[in-house]
Amino acid sequence: MLILGIESSCDETGVALVASASTGVPVLLAHALHSQIEMHQAYGGVVPELASRDHIRRVLPLTDQVLADAGRALAEVDVVAYTRGPGLAGALLVGAGVACALGAALDRPVLGVHHLEGHLLSPFLSADPPEFPFVALLVSGGHTQLMRVDGVGRYAILGETIDDAAGEAFDKSAKLMGLGYPGGPALSRLAGQGNPAAFKLPRPLLHSGDLDFSFAGLKTAVLTQAKKLGDQLNDPGSTAKADLAASTQAAIVEVLLKKSLAALKSTGLKRLVVAGGVGANRELRDQLNAACAKLGVRVHYPELHLCTDNGAMIAMAAAMRLQAGVQETSRAYAFDVKPRWPLDALNPV
Ligand code: KG4
Ligand code: ZN
């Protein structure tokens, strides 16, 4: 079965083609991506209306490219999958509208996918896919959650952020250090030249005894520190900015690491999956790898280029849901998107 996947929830247009049989891990045949980062950079963040318009421009050329790369024709596609939510409503509507139009024109069914389930299952696209059950640390721009995952569509949330997400903490801290958008990669690059112990920043909820997170206070502490540093922050002869970046990253990484270890301990599971954009962070990977190696825990990540948004994870999630029999395709072509959509709403009732 050939599944075309379309991602358009935020600032990347992604399209992919996955082949799936009744058993075995589905295989990625081709994928293509257009990032809108350059377009939004001038505004310091994502402008939803511009995002939607750009998805409209990109989605069909990317689809042609994917089909050409895979050496397949559009008529061979069996199911058209798209990101149904969560995300920006207008942006989601583009992918959903195109998927439903393609489905109706080809007389093929469609399937709406949860964006976070796409991230969660993206390590199955790697050469070393995980096995169920596992603990998942889902760290994206809008979400920070620890989950127990027992199978496709069987997600128990163990803890989550009560305010900002980890990606937001990276992005907002980077913005107030003048590092632009998206801040995570820029902040982590600069952090490589700084001293992570230079500034004492809070580790929110580190000892709360539960698996919840809070990052809003950290951003305030970074702002206070940046104000204290004043001109020094932008003095090319000073390491202050790199030190602040390194200290911020160290605070975020320590909280994510300790809470992930606590989740592994409380569930007794020996496998950890890290997914979402922040999962691309080198320091987080290094620290998780070192700590998990000591505990005999296997850590799985998506391939680096599939950590952030892409179409491959959407086609893959659709393939795995169909294979597991937890969702049926639809010929209703009613593209009702869900800008807000909790992941555990997918669980069977
Ligand atoms: O998963 P994603 O592409 O989009 C959402 O679904 O939100 O995640 C984007 C987030 C942004 O906050 C971005 O700054 C962060 O992932 N990010 C990183 C790195 N690469 C992306 N944060 C820290 N270090 C990185 N290397
Ligand atoms: Zn995402």
- pLDDT of residue 180 exceeding 90: no
CA 197 – ligand 1 centroid, Å: 23
- pLDDT of residue 349 exceeding 80: no
CA 315 – ligand 2 centroid, Å: 14
The predicted structure's pLDDT at residue 348: 80
pTM of structure: 0.96
Q: For the chain, list the domains and their CATH numbers.
A: 2-121+306-346 (3.30.420.40), 132-301 (3.30.420.40)
CA 200 – ligand 2 centroid, Å: 30
Span 55-80, mean pLDDT? 98
Span 136-147, mean pLDDT? 96
Over residues 277-302, the pLDDT tens digits come to 999 999 999 999 999 999 999 999 99
CA distances from 166 to 19, 82, 90, 173, 273 (A): 33, 26, 25, 11, 16
Nearest alpha carbon, ligand 1 atom 14: 184
Ligand nearest to the CA of 140: 1
The predicted structure's pLDDT at residue 280: 97
Span 177-187, mean pLDDT? 93
Beta-bridge mates of residue 210: none
Whether ligand 1 lies within 6 angstroms of the CB of 87 is answered as: no
- pLDDT of residue 103 exceeding 90: yes
Whether ligand 1 lies within 6 angstroms of the CB of 5 is answered as: no
Mean pLDDT of the chain: 97
CA 269 – ligand 2 centroid, Å: 25
Over residues 223-261, the pLDDT tens digits come to 999 999 999 999 999 999 999 999 999 999 999 999 999
Whether ligand 1 lies within 6 angstroms of the CB of 302 is answered as: no
Residue 21's pLDDT band (boundaries 50, 70, 90)?
Answer: very high
Closest CA to 248 of 189, 163, 288: 189
The predicted structure's pLDDT at residue 150: 97
User: Looking at ligand 1, which atom is closest to the CA of residue 142?
Assistant: 7
Whether ligand 1 lies within 6 angstroms of the CB of 145 is answered as: no
Closest CA to 138 of 128, 149, 146: 146
